[in-house]
Each structure stands twice: as structure tokens, then as C-alpha cells.
């Protein structure tokens, strides 16, 4: 067959797909390269429309992209929603295999909710065939989850690093929540509570979810299996355990990282509980292209 590309991710259904998804979300998941490793012929494009963040992770230097979802690098240029649509249109036409629009920073999409929502609506109205994907720290997910669903979001990632607030306090410096700044254990407790409540809300919504976990040697690496067990109870079917990338100018700048073998050991242990992602590229907030041949940021026009 002239056009046959093997399964191309179009016929295989990822085993971790959530139950009760609509046909639309199932079809978009088959073409989502992060959720379906067989969808390697399809591309995602991140639109960097979300500059602010409402928490401070101790491994994050705000001069760089969000290290929860993105590897540190040159700071992304921040786009307005209209600029983001123009850029998306350009690559959609040029590439011909763009199937996912993601918002993953450079801060947190839900800390920039108006800009995020406007971008989602613009892409949804112009490209109904495209999956709409967000990655968030989850602090505002209980507040905005339903609105995301009602505006067409099909895929959502929550990044967690702890379930135990004492461990969380070693990783988060503070959070800004409802007009207050919370620090230490109190901050971690509120964040974790909201992450779990947000995931419970997602459980019955027609959105495919995953949880990203940043593994930090000697801090939370022994605790990751507990996170995976807990998020499974909240309906999550797929987790992505990523190694910390030490960033200059942060408390974790010189922190030792897990070896590939150690990281895979944790993933293997967690695989007995939930399906694991092994093909994450720790993308920038402005990444474009297929995971197998990631393109560097290019300016529009």
C-alpha cells in the first residue's frame, strides 16, 4: 500500500488509555507522541504563552524554562495568544504532521490562565483535529479543571515530586495561593492537596492524564513508588519519571543525579503499578516537531 506507514500510531491503542474516553480523545491520543510511543510520525508544538509561575521549586531558576516539563536552556521568547496562533498555523502547514498543541511554560499555564485559555480557544477553533495538551504544577487545577475541559483540552499532565509534605518542603520553597505566600511544609501540604484534588476531578472527565515525577537522588527517589500508587487511586494510568536536571544558581545546582540504571530501576518498579513513559525528551517550553527529530526554536516570519 503506497501510504502504509505500519501502524503509525493510528490503529494501536496505548494500553494505559483511561477508561470511558470519548472517541475524539481516543483518536487524538493515538496521534499524541507523548502518550503513544508508536505515534512517532506525529509532532507536538509547544506554545510559550505562560511566563509566570505560582510556586517556586528549589531546582528552578526563573531565567530558564520550567524544569518540571522542560530542560533548562535559553529562555524562551514569550508569545501572545495571537502570535502563538500565527506560529502554530505556520508549522501546521509546513510540517503536515502536527497533531498536538502543548502549553508547558516557561512558567505554569494555570498561573497565566487568561492567556492560556485564549490560546486554547484560538487553536481549538482553527484546528479541531489537534489535541490540546497542558502541563501544570497542579496548584490551580481544582479551580480551572472544568473550564479546561469545557474549552476542549484533551490531555493534561500534572507534575508532582512528593506526597509527603516533609519531603515536598525540601523541594518547594514557597507557593502563592489565594493572595498568600505559604512556605515550607505548609506550602508543600497545600500544593500536594491541590494536585491530588485536581487529579480526582480529572478522573471522571473526558481528558487523558499523566503525572510527571521529577526524581531527585537522596531526596524523593525512595518515595516515587508511593506517588505512583496514590495517583493510580485517582484514576491516573500513565506516569513519566524524569531525572532532575541540576540548574545553575539553584539549591540543586551541584546535586548528584540518578544514573540511567537507577532511573530505569525506579521506572521498572513503578511499572508493576502503572504503565511508564520511557521516551520523554524533557522538551523546552517552545519545542516543535516529532520527538524523534526535535527541532530548535525558530522565529516566525
Which of ligand SF4, ligand CLF, none sits in contact with 104, Cβ below 5 to 8 A by type? ligand CLF
60 is an interface residue for ligand SF4 by CB under 6 A = yes
User: Rounded distance, CA 236 to CA 214, Å?
Assistant: 17
Q: Which of 46, 58, 87, 223 binds ligand CLF (CB under 6 A)?
A: 46
Nearest to 64 by CA among 277, 253, 257: 253
How far CA 86 is from CA of 25, 92, 103, 123, in Å, comes to: 25, 10, 15, 10
Spatial CB neighbours of 31, under 8 Å, sequence gap ≥ 6:
9, 10, 39, 42, 99, 100, 131
Name the closest residue to ligand CLF (Cβ). 102
Closest CB to ligand SF4 among 75 and 264? 75
Which of ligand CLF, ligand SF4, none sits in contact with 194, Cβ below 5 to 8 A by type? none
- Cell readout for 299 is 522565529
- Cell readout for 6 is 505500519
Q: Are the beta carbons of 162 and 168 closer than 8 angstroms?
A: yes
By CB under 6 A, which span of 85-93, 97-105, 161-169, 222-230 interacts with ligand CLF?
97-105
291 is an interface residue for ligand SF4 by CB under 6 A = no
Q: Map residues 176-215 to x or -, x wherever contact with ligand SF4 holds by CB under 6 A.
A: ----------------------------------------
DSSP three-state, residue 233: helix
| Vertex 187: Cα angle to 185 and 189 (nearest 5) | 65
245 is an interface residue for ligand CLF by CB under 6 A = no
Q: Are the beta carbons of 137 and 54 closer than 8 angstroms?
A: yes
Closest CB to ligand CLF among 188 and 211? 211
Q: Which of 55, 84, 169, 175 binds ligand SF4 (CB under 6 A)?
A: 55
Site residues for ligand SF4 per CB under 6 A: 53, 55-57, 60, 66-68, 107-108, 137
Site residues for ligand CLF per CB under 6 A: 34, 44, 46, 69, 100, 102, 104, 133, 135, 155, 157, 240, 280-283, 291
Amino acid at each position: 500500500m503506497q501510504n502504509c506507514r505500519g501502524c503509525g500510531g493510528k490503529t494501536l491503542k496505548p494500553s494505559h488509555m483511561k477508561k470511558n474516553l470519548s472517541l475524539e480523545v481516543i483518536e487524538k491520543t493515538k496521534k499524541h507522541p507523548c502518550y503513544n510511543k508508536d505515534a512517532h510520525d506525529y509532532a507536538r508544538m509547544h506554545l510559550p504563552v505562560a511566563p509566570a509561575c505560582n510556586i517556586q521549586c528549589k531546582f528552578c531558576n526563573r531565567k530558564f524554562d520550567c524544569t518540571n516539563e522542560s530542560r533548562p536552556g535559553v529562555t524562551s521568547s514569550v508569545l501572545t495568544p495571537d502570535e502563538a496562533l500565527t506560529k502554530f498555523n505556520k508549522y501546521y502547514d509546513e510540517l503536515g504532521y502536527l497533531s498536538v498543541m502543548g502549553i508547558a511554560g516557561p512558567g505554569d499555564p494555570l498561573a497565566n490562565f487568561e492567556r492560556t485559555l485564549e490560546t486554547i480557544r484560538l487553536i481549538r477553533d482553527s484546528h479541531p483535529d489537534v489535541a490540546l495538551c497542558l502541563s501544570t504544577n497542579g496548584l490551580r487545577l481544582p479551580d480551572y479543571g472544568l473550564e479546561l475541559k469545557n474549552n476542549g483540552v484533551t490531555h493534561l499532565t500534572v507534575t508532582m515530586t512528593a506526597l509527603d509534605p516533609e519531603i515536598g518542603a525540601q523541594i518547594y520553597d514557597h507557593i502563592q495561593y489565594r493572595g498568600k505566600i505559604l512556605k515550607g511544609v505548609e506550602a508543600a501540604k497545600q500544593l500536594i492537596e491541590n494536585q491530588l484534588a485536581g487529579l480526582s476531578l480529572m478522573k471522571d472527565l473526558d481528558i487523558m492524564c499523566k503525572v510527571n515525577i521529577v526524581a531527585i537522588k537522596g531526596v524523593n527517589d525512595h518515595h516515587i513508588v508511593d506517588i505512583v500508587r496514590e495517583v493510580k487511586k485517582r484514576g491516573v494510568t500513565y506516569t513519566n519519571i524524569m531525572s532532575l536536571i541540576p540548574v545553575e544558581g539553584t539549591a540543586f545546582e551541584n546535586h548528584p543525579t540518578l544514573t540511567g540504571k537507577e532511573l530505569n530501576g525506579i521506572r521498572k518498579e513503578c511499572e508493576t503499578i502503572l504503565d511508564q513513559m520511557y521516551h520523554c525528551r524533557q522538551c523546552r517550553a517552545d519545542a516543535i516537531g516529532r520527538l524523534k527529530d526535535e527541532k530548535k526554536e525558530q522565529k516566525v516570519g
